[in-house]
Structure 1
Amino acid sequence: MSKPSLILSAIALSLSLCSSQVFASIDGMKPKPVEGAPLGYIIHNPYENAPLTALVTLAGHTISGVEVTVHANDADGVSLTYQVDDMRVMDEGGVPIFGLYPAFMNTFTVKWTENGEQKSHDYKMLTPDIDMGFSESQWAKAPLVEVEHVDADFKDRLYFVNWTNADGKAAPLMHNNSDAPGAFSWDGKPGFFIIDTAGDIRWYMNPYTTHDAKTYDNAGYAMGMNVTKDGNMVWVQGQGWKKMSIMGRMISEHSLPGNFIDASHEGIEGANGNIFIRAAAKDYRTADGRLVNTIRDQIIEVDNTGKLVDYWDLNTILDPMRDAALLSLDAGAVCLNINLDDAGHQTTEEDLAKAPYGDIHGVATGRNWAHVNSIEYDPTDDSIIISSRHQSAVIKIGRDKQVKWILSASKGWSEKFQDKLLKPITADGKPIWCNEKGACQDKDFDFSWTSHTAYLVPEKGTLTVFDNGDGRDLGQPMFANEKYSRSVEYKIDEQNMTVQQVWEYGKDELGYAGYSPVTSIVKYQADKDSMMSYFASAGLFGLGGGYGNLKMDDTTGKVQSILVEHRYGETKPAVRINIDSHDMFATGYRAQVIRANEMLK
């Protein structure tokens, strides 16, 4: 063969090999389903935010009537079965798989209809272990779940749980006063997870993709998750709020409107479709000319684009100088601001007067005088209901920014608010006498103290409040173990300005073991006509914690939270699940009931 022929042959062979390698490479990069799989391949954690989810792709198939069952991991486990709307399958680009077990070879069954034929296939998939972040004081990878009791008709329950704790990367950014900065410095790894009634974690949020302590927009505690009408999750986090599907698809991320900062505690969708957020105001000019950042005292309403619709400035609506409740607090327990050095010390007038401006409890704008931790929107009169921990009050405020009623002891409220105070009555309508500190003659009624969450129950015409119980009767007990927390339900007559207590749980049933100095929730569940309560910070100060009796021992800083659900009106739990901390001073924040069918519609 001549030299030119050899060269041409070599070039042809080279092109042939190159061409085959290109096509082989392209084909090899494309994922393929395992042999025998009737649909497409499986994508683990399709949006990177929810590691215990997967997606079965369609590979060109058109399917309908989809049902998924994630099978139990053992004889004591709980199988999850849910339906997926046809449009959701198209939206996801496949069949969404929710509720996989961590570090386990999962088995799940997908049933569907295709070309009029019913089909089914069993899939297997290995998942990674739980990783919600780690710190040096941690002894377990996640909070420790122990199921104490579940009635048969509640075994299908799924509970979302929100914990808060810091890690070594938290809070490198802060502003306001360096001795008492705003909520921005309260940063930590997101602790969102879902458990079943066997105590297994079936979902958690990836802390590394949804939080970044080094960036202004993505730092901050992830708190106040609520489920929206369209079945998605909305929550607040530092300087913004997020909306995400249960599959981990980040639907939207919004910064707070320009004049507001430091969102925490609550992000909730109202019946009008807008989002209500507890925030603070930046560069706020006080009456005496000071320029401050306010603390946990602004309620903002935004639409789904993040545009500001309205706001409630509590500094002008309420009285930032009222100190009756503040003087009764255990100074060591101020929700996010937990300071062991002050635990057991009852706040004094000198403390309030000398407090630096910033996130420390004290009177006057620029200090944590209100500490609002929940918001409820009442569509019947276009108003909001707030829980104010540092006023030990639940307050209803209209769109016109006028107070409609106050559920609180009367001490310290100025003349302007005296006719707004609700008057306690018995079940048969008789007045109950209470002194100005809120101690009442009839023991079937008590106010709520340093409350967390106040939510309407439209089905019953009532209001639920989680009564944390610090500063009860505007004081501290002689012994710490006299403290208790309650889930409580009130019936309010706005026309006659009266309030009746109709149900409580925790005072007698749990006592000090359920005392949760901060956080927690109670919320009515219409689907089972029940009350779900989470005593989220029980055990925070240990066996000896509290006023005048703090002692550091092996129990201090190790939360033993309690999640219960009751049939309506009962005090014997249908569900009790104990959730212990996995890290020093990590604490539960809230819990919610999760309904997979509604979140995958």
Structure 2
Amino acid sequence: MMKTKLSLLATSLLLATLNANAGSVDGLKVRPTKGSPLGVVINNPYENAPLTALVTLRGHKISDVKVTIQPKDDGVKISYPVEDMRLLDEGGVPIFGLYPDYLNTVTVNFTEDGKRKSYDYKILTPDIDMGFGQDMWAKAPITDVHHVDADFKDRIYFLSWTGKDGKQAKMAHNNLHAPGAMAWEGTPGFFMIDTAGEIRWYLNPYTTHNSDDYYGTGYAMGMNVTKDGNMAWVQGQTWKHMTVMGRMISEHHLPGEFIDATHEALEGANGNFFIRVASKDYKAPNGKLVNTIRDQIIEVDPNGKLVDHWDLADILDPNREAALLSLDAGAVCLNIDVEQSGHQVTAEDLKTAPYGDIPGTGVGRNWAHVNSVDYDPKDDSIIISSRHQSAVVKIGRDKQVKWILAAREGWNDALAKKLLQPVDSKGKAISCTDAGQCEGDFDFTWTQHTAYMVPEKGTLTVFDNGDGRHLEQPAMPSMKYSRSVEYKVDPQKMTVEQVWEYGKELGSEGYAPVTSIVKYQADKDSLMSYFASPGMFGKGGGMGNMKWDEDTGVTKSILVEHRYGEKEPAVRIDIDGNQMFKTGYRAQVIRIDDMMK
């Protein structure tokens, strides 16, 4: 009897002890910071975006959340609401816009049990690591803020740069005679800056790129913000869809007959994605099997299924050489060869060039170099920018050309009928030579990038890089310039009017031989332009107060934003490269409120 009582007493004491120490079964599990009203802080929750964090809910039911990243000194405050459903989707409060290598103060305001609460979280972040390679002098491109009007101070700009890090692709296509564009490869260079020039987000190159993997290699390019507020881009043999927090929504292989996606992954108004690719094992007119170069457009649904395909070798003329003959052989956008700067190729060179990623005529060479695609839902058509034809072309679903914005020289009879006639503001025809030299206030675009519609204005914006202007190289390299330009196209009258331009004022300082973008921004009724590659051949650029000689190839991008119709920019930020011959690619305006819905 005594043993039974003692046994019951011991059992009771053991249970009491276990209940008192119930929390110890968590072991080393992370617990919230003392005083935190919510859960734990998880840095870089998805491993892809190092300057993000997540505050878990830990059983709390909260609503009406607002997040504020407190600025450094007099820097830019990032503040945004978080919708209730987003909290459940993330499993916590998403934190975006942290400073690198800094103990950030993040204020989270929320409502719980009918009471409004606030808490300041301290979040330490790592230093920037966007990949390292030879000939670098800084860990990231360096910003220099010239001017920002007060009503543009809240801007966040996404930037992409292209550079080499030595870990280039070990993979190659099997077609040894026409290897395609696979060799164009490097570390992803995506980052975002505020208007104080501070980096507030960047993509982890080590988790989103793998040079040993056929589907992990390739440059990350053509990032566009999707209607759901997320990010889509192309990278070699894949296209990706990711949240700004770094959660990879989907990664799709290209449809089986296509390879080498670069430049563009744009979500159309119909919900499908339009991607610039190439075709593998394509039978050329001479019977040879080739991999084509940047001359195919595909439309895929959000699940990656092929919906439609535009074969530009059938639709346009891959043997047109007029624009190719005028190119600076050193600046072929992807294959940049500084030693060839200022040289021009001959017609014989174009016809006999090796198959592969090299300027030339005929399928299997870089005859088209399409660098942007836009979709027009009004007539179910696409608009492409073909750099190596110095042409913007609209093509219907029936694969028929609707119009061409380009100089007359070199088009075959069928396509020449589709050329737009330049007119002035009163609709009067402007006289132009076959090489595109026009009277009055009009010019075509030359080796241009990004041809995008502005539905709100009924216009079209194009970034005119300016190489081969009027189908020739100027007497002096310093005579070159680039510009953002806006046109109004009348498809019934087959006319085009130039309504705005910017860039001549910059002269050779703003000459961007490759890459770049101009895009309308509806929220501020403005035009954002990114002169991405000035100084690529050592003409301009520099790092802070350090001056580099003309052989170093320091690129200085120029980002400007104009109120619609104005000539003086409301924003100008220069971005100096951090690696020899490294170039900017594109920029976008980021609206955090949309990305946190």
Q: Same fold (TM over 0.5)?
A: yes
State the secondary structure of the residue aligned to 1:417.
helix
State the secondary structure of the residue aligned to 1:185.
coil
Q: 1:180–1:342: structure 2 CA closer, same or farther, 3 Å change rule?
A: farther
Query: Where does residue 513 of structure 1 map in the other structure?
Result: 509
Deviation at 1:175, TM superposition (A): 2.5
**Distance in structure 2 (CA, Å) of the matches to 1:57 and 1:119:** 16
Query: Where does residue 27 of structure 1 map in the other structure?
Result: 26
Report the residue type matching 1:505 in the other structure.
Y
Deviation at 1:171, TM superposition (A): 2.0
Report the residue type matching 2:293 in the other structure.
I
Deviation at 1:31, TM superposition (A): 1.1
Query: Where does residue 448 of structure 1 map in the other structure?
Result: 445
> CA-to-partner distance for each residue in 1:440-489, whole Å, 9 max, x for gaps?
121x1000000000000000000000000000000000000000000000
Report the residue type matching 1:116 in the other structure.
G
Superposed, 1:190-589 pairs within 5 Å as 190-442=188-440, 444-507=441-504, 509-543=505-539, 553-554=549-550, 556-589=552-585
**Distance in structure 2 (CA, Å) of the matches to 1:329 and 1:180:** 22
Query: Where does residue 168 of structure 2 map in the other structure?
Result: 170
Report the residue type matching 1:119 in the other structure.
K
Deviation at 1:174, TM superposition (A): 2.1
Deviation at 1:184, TM superposition (A): 1.4
Deviation at 1:341, TM superposition (A): 2.3
Query: Where does residue 6 of structure 2 map in the other structure?
Result: none
**Distance in structure 2 (CA, Å) of the matches to 1:314 and 1:354:** 21
**Distance in structure 1 (CA, Å) of the matches to 2:44 and 2:527:** 33
Report the residue type matching 2:46 in the other structure.
Y
Instruction: From 122, 127, 135, give the equivalent of 1:137.
Output: 135
Query: Where does residue 96 of structure 1 map in the other structure?
Result: 94
State the secondary structure of the residue aligned to 1:183.
coil
> CA-to-partner distance for each residue in 1:284-335, whole Å, 9 max, x for gaps?
0112211000000000000011000000000000000000000000011011
Query: Where does residue 114 of structure 1 map in the other structure?
Result: 112
CA RMSD of aligned residues (A): 1.8
Q: 1:244–1:100: structure 2 CA closer, same or farther, 3 Å change rule?
A: same
Q: State the aligned residue count.
A: 576
State the secondary structure of the residue aligned to 2:182.
helix
Query: Where does residue 8 of structure 1 map in the other structure?
Result: none
State the secondary structure of the residue aligned to 1:369.
coil
Instruction: Indicate if the aligned counterparts of 1:539 and 1:556 stay in contact, CA closer than 8 A.
Output: no
Q: 1:173–1:497: structure 2 CA closer, same or farther, 3 Å change rule?
A: same
Superposed, 1:60-75 pairs within 5 Å as 60-75=59-74
**Distance in structure 2 (CA, Å) of the matches to 1:553 and 1:337:** 23
Instruction: Indicate if the aligned counterparts of 1:411 and 1:436 stay in contact, CA closer than 8 A.
Output: yes
**Distance in structure 1 (CA, Å) of the matches to 2:263 and 2:532:** 14
**Distance in structure 2 (CA, Å) of the matches to 1:183 and 1:243:** 23
Instruction: Indicate if the aligned counterparts of 1:438 and 1:446 stay in contact, CA closer than 8 A.
Output: yes
**Greater Cα shift, 284-293 or 529-538:** 284-293
Q: 1:192–1:256: structure 2 CA closer, same or farther, 3 Å change rule?
A: same
Provide the TM-score with structure 1 as the length reference.
0.94
Instruction: Indicate if the aligned counterparts of 1:405 and 1:497 stay in contact, CA closer than 8 A.
Output: yes
**Distance in structure 2 (CA, Å) of the matches to 1:179 and 1:118:** 68
> CA-to-partner distance for each residue in 1:237-257, whole Å, 9 max, x for gaps?
000100000000000000000
**Distance in structure 2 (CA, Å) of the matches to 1:544 and 1:481:** 11
Report the residue type matching 2:508 in the other structure.
Y
**Distance in structure 1 (CA, Å) of the matches to 2:397 and 2:523:** 31
Q: 1:115–1:174: structure 2 CA closer, same or farther, 3 Å change rule?
A: same
Gaps of 5+ in 2: 1-10, 542-547
State the secondary structure of the residue aligned to 1:431.
coil
State the secondary structure of the residue aligned to 1:315.
helix
Instruction: Indicate if the aligned counterparts of 1:183 and 1:263 stay in contact, CA closer than 8 A.
Output: no
Deviation at 1:544, TM superposition (A): 9.0
**Distance in structure 1 (CA, Å) of the matches to 2:117 and 2:176:** 63
Q: 1:68–1:316: structure 2 CA closer, same or farther, 3 Å change rule?
A: same
**Distance in structure 2 (CA, Å) of the matches to 1:372 and 1:481:** 27
Q: In percent, how many aligned pairs have the same letter?
A: 69
**Distance in structure 2 (CA, Å) of the matches to 1:24 and 1:116:** 29
Instruction: Indicate if the aligned counterparts of 1:484 and 1:512 stay in contact, CA closer than 8 A.
Output: yes
Instruction: Indicate if the aligned counterparts of 1:175 and 1:185 stay in contact, CA closer than 8 A.
Output: no
**Distance in structure 2 (CA, Å) of the matches to 1:143 and 1:286:** 42
**Distance in structure 1 (CA, Å) of the matches to 2:438 and 2:383:** 24
> CA-to-partner distance for each residue in 1:48-88, whole Å, 9 max, x for gaps?
0000000000110001111000000112x111000111000
Deviation at 1:27, TM superposition (A): 1.3
**Greater Cα shift, 186-195 or 176-185:** 176-185
Instruction: Indicate if the aligned counterparts of 1:264 and 1:279 stay in contact, CA closer than 8 A.
Output: yes
State the secondary structure of the residue aligned to 2:443.
coil
State the secondary structure of the residue aligned to 1:305.
coil
Deviation at 1:170, TM superposition (A): 1.2
**Greater Cα shift, 345-354 or 469-478:** 345-354
Q: 1:468–1:179: structure 2 CA closer, same or farther, 3 Å change rule?
A: farther
**Distance in structure 2 (CA, Å) of the matches to 1:314 and 1:353:** 18
Q: 1:481–1:456: structure 2 CA closer, same or farther, 3 Å change rule?
A: same
**Distance in structure 2 (CA, Å) of the matches to 1:399 and 1:84:** 40
Report the residue type matching 1:266 in the other structure.
E
**Distance in structure 1 (CA, Å) of the matches to 2:175 and 2:474:** 33
**Distance in structure 1 (CA, Å) of the matches to 2:30 and 2:87:** 19
> CA-to-partner distance for each residue in 1:413-434, whole Å, 9 max, x for gaps?
0001121000000011111000
**Distance in structure 2 (CA, Å) of the matches to 1:220 and 1:186:** 7
Instruction: From 72, 77, 80, give the equivalent of 2:78.
Output: 80
State the secondary structure of the residue aligned to 1:325.
helix
Query: Where does residue 3 of structure 1 map in the other structure?
Result: none
Instruction: Indicate if the aligned counterparts of 2:188 and 2:220 stay in contact, CA closer than 8 A.
Output: yes
Deviation at 1:28, TM superposition (A): 2.5
> CA-to-partner distance for each residue in 1:128-157, whole Å, 9 max, x for gaps?
000000002111000000100000000000
Instruction: Indicate if the aligned counterparts of 1:177 and 1:358 stay in contact, CA closer than 8 A.
Output: no
> CA-to-partner distance for each residue in 1:176-200, whole Å, 9 max, x for gaps?
6769742211111100000000000
**Distance in structure 2 (CA, Å) of the matches to 1:359 and 1:235:** 21
Instruction: Indicate if the aligned counterparts of 2:298 and 2:310 stay in contact, CA closer than 8 A.
Output: yes
**Distance in structure 2 (CA, Å) of the matches to 1:134 and 1:306:** 33
**Distance in structure 2 (CA, Å) of the matches to 1:479 and 1:386:** 31
**Distance in structure 2 (CA, Å) of the matches to 1:410 and 1:109:** 59
Deviation at 1:168, TM superposition (A): 1.0
Q: 1:42–1:503: structure 2 CA closer, same or farther, 3 Å change rule?
A: same
Deviation at 1:555, TM superposition (A): 5.2
**Distance in structure 2 (CA, Å) of the matches to 1:534 and 1:46:** 31
**Distance in structure 1 (CA, Å) of the matches to 2:503 and 2:345:** 26
Deviation at 1:350, TM superposition (A): 2.1
Instruction: Indicate if the aligned counterparts of 2:393 and 2:405 stay in contact, CA closer than 8 A.
Output: yes
Provide the TM-score with structure 2 as the length reference.
0.94
